[in-house]
Amino acid sequence: MVEYLRLGSTGIEVSQACLGTWMFGTKSPSGSEIVTEEVALSILDSAWDSGVNFIDTANVYGRGSSEEYIGKWLTGLNRRPLVLTGDDLANARRTSTVATVLQHPLPRF
């Protein structure tokens, strides 16, 4: 069972478990992806189904593949998890696949 915490004074509740996505699209020394898009989407589905709504990503994870995979995954959801990115959010709103999919601006902390 996933437990939730209030994120500061925002009123947003996030799962105590945060899914880190730094391996999504990252290449091994041989050049193959360690976590392919198909596997990444499956991991995201499993985390969501388990109650995880807190996802860590950044535009450097997998050279941008992590955000691309998450953006594709978000397209099919009716609810929005909280996605925090290591990139500056103002810049991400202009360039990020994830930010493009989100219909409402992300709060700044």
Residue 92 has pLDDT above 80, yes or no: no
**90 phi and psi angles, rounded to 5 deg:** -65, -45
CA distances from 52 to 14, 31, 48, 93, 95 (A): 8, 30, 5, 23, 25
**84 phi and psi angles, rounded to 5 deg:** -105, 135
pTM of the predicted model over 0.85: no
Q: Any idea of the CA torsion for 86, 89, 92, 93, to the nearest 10 degrees?
A: 160
Query: Element (H or E) spanning 23, and its range?
Result: none
pLDDT for the residue 89:
46
- Catalytic, 69? Answer no
Residue 4 has pLDDT above 80, yes or no: yes
pLDDT for the residue 35:
93
Query: For the segment 13-53, what is each residue's pLDDT rounded down to a tens digit?
Result: 888 888 999 999 998 899 888 999 999 999 999 999 999 98
Out of 61, 67, 73, 87, the active site residue is: 61
